[in-house]
Amino acid sequence: MKPPGASASGEDDLIARYFRPLATDLGAFGLVDDAAILKSTGDDLVVTTDAIVEGVHFLPNDPPDTIARKALRVNLSDVAAKGASPAGFVLTLALREAKDEWLAPFAKALGEDAMSFQCPLLGGDTVSTAGPVMISVTAFGRVPAGKMVKRSGTKPGDKIAVTGTIGDAALGLRLLKGNLKSAGLDDAAYGSLVQRYRVPQPRNAIAMVLRNHASAAMDISDGLAGDLIKLCAASGISATVVASSIPLSDAARGLLDAGQVDFEDIVAGGDDYEILCAIPENRWESFARDAARAGVAVTCIGSVVAGGEVPVFVTRDGKPIVLKRLSYSHF
Amino acid sequence: MKPPGASASGEDDLIARYFRPLATDLGAFGLVDDAAILKSTGDDLVVTTDAIVEGVHFLPNDPPDTIARKALRVNLSDVAAKGASPAGFVLTLALREAKDEWLAPFAKALGEDAMSFQCPLLGGDTVSTAGPVMISVTAFGRVPAGKMVKRSGTKPGDKIAVTGTIGDAALGLRLLKGNLKSAGLDDAAYGSLVQRYRVPQPRNAIAMVLRNHASAAMDISDGLAGDLIKLCAASGISATVVASSIPLSDAARGLLDAGQVDFEDIVAGGDDYEILCAIPENRWESFARDAARAGVAVTCIGSVVAGGEVPVFVTRDGKPIVLKRLSYSHF
């Protein structure tokens, strides 16, 4: 029994203490209602949902602040890829136990990201589980009506581009799991790969650039190779990617050159949360210029070609590279 | 490796086979994009999220079709309580394994409910977990701008009403868990209590009636006693509920009269998914009439009173009943 006037359950206390401060939007009603409101603005509302699971998308010993950021950012990455501006999110938290030392840094980091990405917490649900911790986020974005950047819409001749560098997160995970020797990596390189796995950098800074220039876009979550197949399939086209043009971090380049990792580790590992997009050739220059202004590195890695074959990775002199695996799959 | 042209992962196959047929809304893009679109209609968009977890909200042996319906309906219940019309939902499914014999009836039932409640699947995420199955749904509803029925807004003198009957689901759970002898219950009564636990009946039929008449509303998910505390706290008022006026099914009444269950089993058990609302006295008649026209039974169980004390349950002659517990809490 609680004293009179106290809330009825530990769950409510938990929400009030840790999550109410994050519910800064008027439509969240301070999390005391059963639902939130997203006001109509005339824009289309983009809706996306992605969950992260302990042992799959993050490791049991990952710091709670990085887990919080990853849970939100994998969704912000989808919002960015669709050319939308973040509008808010709801959170489902399945926990084995409610420990202050885990919840306090989790909620603090989530609040910081919600603030910096202008994506306020609108509501949520907290449930107990006997299994792995799971955090499911549904995020909302706004785009002018009809202007969402789709997966489909690219045509032969379009250039294929990615943001940032590819493969780092997958290598970071292998380092954390002990499946990759860190010999040859200095502390900074090791730290940067691990950080790329734990805290993705969603590319919301170029959402409007994508809306203005991209014929199709998606974020890379399951590996460049597998996600490129999806991008191509959505438009019924194929693509040729020059393997050596794929942007790599110095750390990843070093490991690849030393033979410590293979090409598949880079392109089929997943967790990149970079943008994969197609840009009509006549828009490439303005796309690259606008992306640079937004502070996001973009690299052309190949081009869209006609045909229904799976996209081909080729060497600098055009020889196809046969991939032993394509992407991460849950089942 | 998959043959060329096949999709890149088992997850995609699963989504295509089972869930694409449910994505009937144009804004779902056949689930081939990374996000869905909810078009602007000028209405406010109500957003709510609730997860159900194996072993907590459903039992490992519950039929997959009832699990699917419960996952969606607990959210539809929130949409109804807010006076909104269903507009769609997104689904996160955390599964240990992807078995056809589980997924096929799950998706079929989900599709039937999506159709009958006019709440199409807009998107989702499917992840693997080593732990209990968990289904997280975020549901959307539309209400005319500013017209969402809130938890707050009730005043002393308002009548307190509930839909349907209270306590059945909690008794159904106890029967399924073997914590309650089924002696004295005929098969139909046993079946009806179990069904109430497995497949809630959300009261979307009276969403508009609530919008027209209720000063405050919420759905009852954690037990009438605990949820009434929340309703009162949101408005800074208290309430008096006459215990004998709480509507009970014949099955629950029989068990209570026989002393097989106590009053707390009825009002603190949870999983009712009925509506708890406050109705200004001068609107009661039209509320009751409109609810009857919508085919939903409503019962006045008490009234709102001034003060910040927790609501009191009283006997027919006004004596307070001290409750040994108030509601289900996850933590």
Do residue B136 and residue A51 have CB atoms under 8 angstroms apart? yes
pLDDT the model gives residue B331: 60
Question: What is the DSSP secondary structure assignment for residue B235, as one 8-state letter?
Answer: H
Do B159-321 and B10-143 have the same topology in CATH?
no
CA–CA gap between residue A38 and residue B68 (Å, rounded): 26
For residue B94, give the 3-state DSSP assignment. Answer: strand
Nearest to B251 by CA among B169, B163, B314: B169
Count of alpha carbons within 13 Å of B310, Cβ hemisphere only?
A: 21
In the Cβ-directed half-sphere of A278, how many Cα atoms lie within 13 Å?
29
- CB-count exposure of residue A12 (10 Å: 0-12, 13-18, 19+): buried
Domain extent listing, chain B: 10-143, 159-321
At A276-311, the pLDDT tens digits run 999 999 999 999 999 999 999 999 999 999 999 999
**How far is CA B316 from its chain centroid?**
29
The average confidence (pLDDT) of chain A is 93
Q: Which of residues 104-143 of A touch B (CB under 8 A)?
A: 122-132, 134, 136, 138, 140-141
The pLDDT assigned to A252 comes to: 96
3-state DSSP assignment of residue B305? strand
CA distance A241 to A303: 7
- Average pLDDT (B67-86) is 98
Nearest to A129 among B44, B49, B132 (CB): B132
Domain A159-321 belongs to what topology? Phosphoribosyl-aminoimidazole Synthetase; Chain A, domain 2 (3.90.650)
Query: What is the rounded average pLDDT for all residues in chain B?
Result: 93
Comparing A94-108, A174-188, B41-55, B197-211, the range with the smallest average pLDDT is A174-188
* Shortest Cα–Cα distance, B73 to chain A (Å): 14
pLDDT in tens, A211-234: 999 999 999 999 999 999 999 999
Q: How far is A101 from chain B (nearest CA, A)?
A: 15
Q: For residue B218, what are the β-bridge partners?
A: B276
Sign of the CA dihedral with B11 first, then B16, B18, and B21 last: positive
Selecting from B33, B50, B130 the residue whose C-beta is nearest the C-beta of A131 gives B130
> Would you state the pLDDT for residue A1?
27
User: Which A residues in the span 240-299 are in contact with B, Cβ-Cβ below 8 Å?
Assistant: none
pLDDT at B181: 85
**Residue A52, helix vs strand vs coil:** strand
CATH topology of domain A10-143: 60s Ribosomal Protein L30; Chain: A; (3.30.1330)
First-last CA distance in chain B: 44
Residue B69's nearest CA partner among B197, B170, B174 is B197
Q: Which residues of B touch A308 (CB under 8 A)?
A: 5
Higher pLDDT, B127 or B74: B74
d(CA B158, CA B277): 9
Task: Write a three-state SS string for B9-20.
Answer: CHHHHHHHHHHH
Distance between CA atoms of B295 and B278, rounded to whole angstroms? 19
Answer yes or no: is pLDDT of B8 > 50. Answer: no
Q: What pLDDT does B9 receive?
A: 62
Choice among A5-14, B11-20, B152-161 with the minimum mean pLDDT: A5-14
pLDDT in tens, A233-277: 999 999 999 999 999 999 999 999 999 999 999 999 999 999 999
Of A34, A84, A257, which Cα lies nearest the Cα of B231?
A: A34
Instruction: State the Cα–Cα distance between residues B19 and B123, nearest whole angstrom.
Output: 9
Taking CA–CA distances from A79, the nearest residue in chain B reads B35
- pTM equals 0.93
B222 touches chain A (CB under 8 A): yes
Q: Which residues contact A297 (CB under 8 A, 6 or more apart)?
A: A163, A164, A165, A247, A291
In 3D, which of B73, B61, B133, B139 has the Cα closest to residue B271? B73
Mean local confidence (pLDDT), B36-49: 96
- How many pairs of residues across A and B have Cβ atoms under 8 Å apart? 281
pLDDT at A3 over 80: no
Judge: B326–A2 Cβ closer than 8 Å, yes or no: yes
**At B318, which amino acid appears?**
G
- Copy the structure tokens of residue A4: 């009179």
Residue range B98-141, pLDDT digits in tens: 999 999 999 999 999 999 999 999 999 998 898 999 999 999 99
Tokens of residue B188, six digits = 């139909």
Segment A185-193 shows an average pLDDT of 94
Give the pLDDT band of residue A172 (cuts 50, 70, 90): very high
